[in-house]
Amino acid sequence: MKIKRVEHIAIAVDSIRQSLGLMRDTFGLELEYEETIGQTKLAMLPVGETYIELLEGTGPDSGVTQWIGEKGTGLFHICFEVDDIEGAIAELKAKKVKLQSETWRTGHGGSKIVFLDPSATGNVLIELAELAPGH
């Protein structure tokens, strides 16, 4: 598996609207796009070749809402871009690395994603993403 780059750093927030203001006014970062996936709203802000991803839960059952309830707002996960998500999953399974799911699912911008279990990564949630064509 070849890691191409840090694709994004995700931050769990109470309010994307408030956080967008902070990112724009403090750092000059501008919103590239927003979308909702399941019970999570997200906003992507480019920083060079990487993004800051703001995550907001849309209800009490959202993983982001539960995370914030347990740990508070802040760093949620780090995402690495890979060329081949299925190959990466197979390699990690062969290395006996624990994953949160056995298969990829659709993530931001139509990407194919999988999360490693934090127990296998020093308690850091790590996402791998194979970006959709054109992203």
Q: Please, what are the domains in the chain?
A: 3-130 (3.10.180.10)
Tokens of 36: 């909702």
> What's the pTM?
0.93
DSSP string, 64-75: HHHHHHHH-SEE
3-12 and 50-57 strand pairing: parallel
> Residues near 124 by Cβ (< 8 Å), separated by ≥ 6?
77, 78, 118
Task: Identify the three-state secondary structure at position 130.
Answer: strand
Q: Model confidence over 11-39: pLDDT tens digits? A: 999 999 999 999 999 999 999 999 999 99
Q: Model confidence over 36-64: pLDDT tens digits? A: 999 999 999 999 999 999 999 999 999 99
Task: Identify the three-state secondary structure at position 4.
Answer: strand
Torsion angle, alpha carbons of 22, 33, 88, 119, to 10 = 30
SS3 readout for 80-93:
EEECCHHHHHHHHH
Distance of CA 122 to the CA centre of its chain: 17
